[in-house]
Chains A and B, each alone.
Chain A
Amino acid sequence: MSAVYIHIPFCVKRCYYCDFITYAGQGHLIADYHNAVLKELEFYQRFVTEPVSSLYFGGGTPSLLPALAVADLIQAVELNYGLNPNAEITLEANPGTLDLQKLTDLKTAGVNRLSIGIQSFDNSDLVALGRVHNADQALEAISLSRQAGFDNLSLDFIFGIPGQSLAGWQKNLSMAVEAGVEHLSLYSLILEEGTVYACMVARDELTLPDDDLVADMFELAMDYLAAQGFQQYEISNWSRGAAHQSQHNKVYWQNQDYLGIGAAAHGLLAESRYNNIATTPEYIQRMRQTNKKTQLSPVVEETIPISRKDAMQEHMILGLRMTARGVSASEFNLRYGEELETVFAGQIQKMLALGLLEWMDFKDGRHLRLTRRGIMLGNLVFQEFI
């Protein structure tokens, strides 16, 4: 194990489309939460055998944590598990929660990659999404990050925002490229249950852009970014050069173990997926009461054992998300002791025939990956493998 995820479930205000586990108005819990996370990190000490090579603060809005708290948590990781000197340490940050001092302190604390939730450079998009920041703050966040010395920046964008045009989307893409960042994550807006958006749609107060426009936006991004020297290494992720791919996220897509810490965090450990309880106060409460000797984490709510069959299925639906490398036949064989072509013979044949999958030759032999149409229709492919 070499990857650790720490969930920070605090936000200034909930965005209209957001169904992540995060809470607004619980700022007073941050200090207690911080202590609870320290305790949970300690709990897993005996399970971790190698130094950590990727640490990810996700949320929520991790940039709401004081820089000192982040420093403290990084130190705790190092103390408990060891930290590889080249480790990727990412922190998700939102414009409006950053200033130069804080960014500098974060850098000093050891954070070496920022993932900034820009979402759009257009104020009307940002209002439509219910974000707390405006376009100026978005641009400022990028330049301050550079000033603070961050040389590995990723920006998040959303497309298919109500009211967004293809031209508006192109403008966002151009500005993102101009900003000269190393990595981009572009997500098509999904209507999730229980969000403000879902409510508005149900009451006919909101219409989402039509499917064709959203498909056009996705294709535009693929074509434009390719021409600008970005590689689409995952369905929603682009980087300049392989070195800037997200090391941490690749752990997920390669179906490798990782530790999830914090309220609502998920992990994959010892052939089981687990998830922690989602409510922050209860997470804090349970961590506070725990005595060190318990065998099971006091905050784990559910553990799902992953059979070999499950693992192979998940290997496919995760691995195929990596649009450039796909799934390596030899890696699959090495890991499960069975031939990829045999285990999923029918599925592969069907998807090849439909033009959704293709075989490509790599150094270690054949890789199976999504075609361009397969990227657009990924779910049709993934469904075959489950």
Chain B
Amino acid sequence: MFPVEGIISYTDTLMENIRNFCIIAHVDHGKSTLADRMLQLTGTISDRDMTEQVLDSMDLEREKGVTIKASAVRMVFTAPDGRDYEFNLIDTPGHVDFSYEVSRALYACEGAVLVIDATQGIEAQTLANLYLALDANLVIIPVLNKVDLQSAMVEEVTRDLVQLLGVDKSDIIAISAKTGENVDLVLQAIAERIPAPVADKEKPLRALVFDSHYDSYKGVIAYIRVFDGKISPSDKLKMIATGSRIEPVEIGVFSPGMKPVQLLEAGDVGYVATGLKTVSDCRVGDTITHALKPAETPLPGYQKAKPMVFAGVYPTEGEDYGNLKDALEKLQLNDASLTYEPETSEALNFGFRCGFLGLFHMEIIQERLEREYNLDVVFTAPSVEYKVDLRDGKTIIIDSPADLPDEGEIVDIYEPWMELEIFTPTDYYGVVMDLVKKRRGIYVNQDYPAANRVQLNFEIPLSEIIIDFFDLLKSSTRGYASMDYKFIEYRAGDLVKLQILLNEEPVDALTAIVHKGDAFHKGQALVSKLKGIIPSQMFVIPIQAYAQGRVISRANVKALRKDVLAKCYGGDITRKKKLLEKQKKGKKRMKMVGNVQIPQEAFMAILRLED
């Protein structure tokens, strides 16, 4: 998996010399760069092979289309006093949608290196991850990165950190991960400040799964931290929450490639090649124990994956349906939080309804489908899951607006509400307040964890932040604000179905559920947006927005009057033919609803109503 195998030979490490830790940082603050320097300084990877950022590279290696990621690495650090330490660096996912996964990775550690970009200061994710780390009782080593840059605000950010963490100024290490300056001090601090794991080798086995990936030869590889007991390769194992049985293909450590060992014991970080077929059989947060002599209680904190955001995913070209299915299947092998099931739309034909943890998760999947699987796909506007009480006493759950029954049958619609934290320079206080209020957000309270920075806490319907919100937040605060959110509860809302009719026919994939007060404005915005997107065709095309039994907005796409190549002589024929072919192809990519051709982007129109 990695370019180098076994540079270092392992001697038995004293338990008291093991250090399990992670690096937490806001995106782009330098986590990967620092990890790379550590790998180099400890000789885990030779300088020659240090070509790419090791921890960050999703495309590290591809094996039968399955991406392998590295999220744990073992290093040997020789301290100035000559003692050898075994460092296990555990990676944490970078996005707020994965806070559960982050919390499990943190739980596998005793300490965390908190990296803050000295040119940027504290950000929302810094805080969110810090709180998770404090919840997990980790020792925090604060590190100021990028001090080589002119724009580094070392004093200011140091002051903020002192205030935030209640640490002494001298506890903060100022480094440049890029040049390597003071990275040795970080290694020493890990050895000195982070405690060795407290572990009991004699108790029944309990090992926490903090990550996993799928390997086509060895099945699911579970990344584990052993808390109690020990594992040998011949042990019969089981997962406590899912009940899956495991006969390990092998067990091992990351050094940094997968290296089989004969024994993993309490305190260790390593892997079990489980032979299981999908990562959902081996969920992050689950506990591995012995099948014959099981532990009585699992390690705390396990949760099932719960998608919160749903969207239709359709191939642009109908013939790609099979490829899309394969791609989703493969992605799911490595991503237990992605769900999908077949869906049929009149407008978009055959595709899938996919469930995601949140909007960032959705973006990642979209990007991977396009980049790694080379698929041209249409994502319909994302939706949340609604609970609907019906007159007949039943409650249904829908995640696609088109499935909402007629108004007459509905008593109440409930939608998920979130706790939303926005962290921003105080200059943008008003801007952020306005933005959140426009989205039905409710102000809860505020906090000033650092100078000139305010943390604003709100409650807000999830449906209001999955569309466009983060981009708007970023653009209206010049990129300075950051956010974090988590689910609170379902609440009843004054919600209505907004339908779009083209040529008098409702288009299922353009249906939305919106707040009653927004229906008019959104209907209008959507109609005018569509008017701009749908090209003129042979006939006039009426576009109507329809809600609560009436048309709330309408516009016409004018009929196409003239579309003809003016010139076509001897020299042009081949070129003109190509032009016509291109035009024809463009049309073929459009979706037909009735006799109206709709460009793919129309289905995304609802995402960009604000501009």
Q: Which residues of A contact B (CB under 8 A)?
A: 5, 7, 58, 187-188, 190, 211-212, 214-215, 218, 235-236, 249, 251-253, 258, 260, 264-268, 273, 275, 304, 313-314, 317-318, 321, 354, 375-380, 382-383, 386
Q: Which residue of B lies closest to A268 (CB)?
A: B570
Residue B170 is within 8 A (CB to CB) of chain A in the complex: no
A-B contact pairs, 20 of them (CB 8 A): A187-B566, A187-B567, A211-B561, A251-B570, A252-B570, A253-B568, A258-B570, A260-B571, A266-B573, A267-B570, A314-B573, A317-B576, A317-B577, A318-B573, A321-B568, A376-B561, A378-B564, A382-B580, A383-B583, A386-B580
Whether A379 lies near B570 (C-beta < 8 A) is: no
CB neighbors of A among B204-232 (8 A): none
Whether A218 lies near B562 (C-beta < 8 A) is: yes
Whether B538 lies near A235 (C-beta < 8 A) is: no
Whether B587 lies near A212 (C-beta < 8 A) is: no
Whether A383 lies near B584 (C-beta < 8 A) is: yes
Whether A212 lies near B561 (C-beta < 8 A) is: yes
What is the minimal beta-carbon distance from A141 to any residue of chain B, in angstroms?
A: 21
Contacts of B580 in A (CB 8 A): 317, 379, 382-383, 386
For the complex of A and B, list the 7 residue pairs with the smallest distance between their C-beta atoms, beginning with the closest: A378-B564, A215-B561, A215-B562, A383-B584, A187-B566, A266-B571, A252-B570
Q: Which residues of B contact A (CB under 8 A)?
A: 536, 538, 558, 560-574, 576-577, 580-581, 583-584, 587
Give bound CA distance, A15 to B248, whole Å. Answer: 75
Q: Which residue of A lies closest to B567 (CB)?
A: A187
What is the minimal beta-carbon distance from B561 to any residue of chain A, in angstroms?
A: 4
Whether A378 lies near B569 (C-beta < 8 A) is: no
Contacts of B567 in A (CB 8 A): 187, 190, 236
Whether B562 lies near A314 (C-beta < 8 A) is: no
Whether A235 lies near B564 (C-beta < 8 A) is: yes
Whether A314 lies near B561 (C-beta < 8 A) is: no
Whether B583 lies near A249 (C-beta < 8 A) is: no
Q: Which residue of A lies closest to B571 (CB)?
A: A266
Contacts of B560 in A (CB 8 A): 377, 380
Give bound CA distance, A252 to B570, whole Å. Answer: 5
Of the candidates B536, B566, B574, B581, the one having the most CB atoms from chain A within 10 angstroms of its own CB is B566
Whether A380 lies near B538 (C-beta < 8 A) is: yes
Contacts of A187 in B (CB 8 A): 566-567
Q: Which residue of B lies closest to A212 (CB)?
A: B561
What is the minimal beta-carbon distance from A218 to any residue of chain B, in angstroms?
A: 6
Whether B571 lies near A377 (C-beta < 8 A) is: no
Contacts of A214 in B (CB 8 A): 562
Whether A376 lies near B564 (C-beta < 8 A) is: yes
Among A58, A260, A275, A375, contact of B564 (Cβ-Cβ < 8 Å): A375
Give bound CA distance, A212 to B576, whole Å. Answer: 23
Give bound CA distance, A34 to B573, whole Å. Answer: 26
Given contacts A187-B566, A317-B580, contact A383 B571 (CB under 8 A): no
Whether A252 lies near B564 (C-beta < 8 A) is: no
Q: Which residue of A lies closest to B562 (CB)?
A: A215
Contacts of A215 in B (CB 8 A): 561-562
Contacts of B570 in A (CB 8 A): 5, 251-252, 258, 260, 266-268
Contacts of B577 in A (CB 8 A): 313-314, 317, 386
Give bound CA distance, A383 to B560, whole Å. Answer: 15
Among A253, A266, A268, A377, contact of B563 (Cβ-Cβ < 8 Å): A377
Give bound CA distance, A258 to B566, whole Å. Answer: 21
Give bound CA distance, A5 to B558, whole Å. Answer: 42
Contacts of B561 in A (CB 8 A): 211-212, 215, 376-377
Whether B538 lies near A377 (C-beta < 8 A) is: yes
Among B562, B565, B572, B583, contact of A211 (Cβ-Cβ < 8 Å): B562
What is the minimal beta-carbon distance from A9 to any residue of chain B, in angstroms?
A: 11
Give bound CA distance, A382 to B584, whole Å. Answer: 10
Give bound CA distance, A383 to B583, whole Å. Answer: 8
Give bound CA distance, A386 to B576, whole Å. Answer: 11
Give bound CA distance, A101 to B565, whole Å. Answer: 37
Given contacts A188-B566, A235-B564, A378-B563, contact A265 B538 (CB under 8 A): no
Give bound CA distance, A297 to B538, whole Å. Answer: 46
Give bound CA distance, A321 to B569, whole Å. Answer: 11
Give bound CA distance, A15 to B293, whole Å. Answer: 87
Whether A249 lies near B569 (C-beta < 8 A) is: yes
Whether A379 lies near B563 (C-beta < 8 A) is: yes
Contacts of A260 in B (CB 8 A): 570-571
Whether B574 lies near A304 (C-beta < 8 A) is: yes
Give bound CA distance, A218 to B560, whole Å. Answer: 14
Give bound CA distance, A160 to B580, whole Å. Answer: 21
Whether B571 lies near A264 (C-beta < 8 A) is: yes
Contacts of B581 in A (CB 8 A): 386
Contacts of B536 in A (CB 8 A): 211
Give bound CA distance, A180 to B269, whole Å. Answer: 94
What is the minimal beta-carbon distance from A275 to any residue of chain B, in angstroms?
A: 8
Whether A376 lies near B562 (C-beta < 8 A) is: yes
Give bound CA distance, A20 to B564, whole Å. Answer: 19
Contacts of B569 in A (CB 8 A): 58, 249, 252
What is the minimal beta-carbon distance from B299 to any residue of chain A, in angstroms?
A: 60
Give bound CA distance, A264 to B174, whole Å. Answer: 65
Of the candidates A214, A265, A376, the one having the most CB atoms from chain B within 10 angstroms of its own CB is A376
What is the minimal beta-carbon distance from B503 to any residue of chain A, in angstroms?
A: 16
What is the minimal beta-carbon distance from A159 to any residue of chain B, in angstroms?
A: 9
Whether A379 lies near B571 (C-beta < 8 A) is: no
What is the minimal beta-carbon distance from B579 to any residue of chain A, in angstroms?
A: 9
Contacts of A252 in B (CB 8 A): 568-570, 573
Whether A380 lies near B571 (C-beta < 8 A) is: no
Contacts of A266 in B (CB 8 A): 570-574
Q: Which residue of B lies closest to A321 (CB)?
A: B568
Whether B574 lies near A377 (C-beta < 8 A) is: no
Q: Which residue of A lies closest to B558 (CB)?
A: A212
Contacts of A383 in B (CB 8 A): 580, 583-584, 587
Whether A354 lies near B562 (C-beta < 8 A) is: no
Contacts of B587 in A (CB 8 A): 383
Contacts of A190 in B (CB 8 A): 566-567
Given contacts A265-B571, A379-B563, A380-B560, could you give 16 more A-B pairs where the C-beta distance is less than 8 Å? Answer: A187-B567, A190-B567, A212-B561, A253-B568, A266-B573, A268-B570, A273-B573, A275-B574, A304-B574, A318-B568, A318-B573, A354-B538, A376-B564, A377-B563, A379-B565, A386-B581
Contacts of B584 in A (CB 8 A): 383, 386
Contacts of A218 in B (CB 8 A): 562
Among B558, B566, B571, B583, contact of A236 (Cβ-Cβ < 8 Å): B566
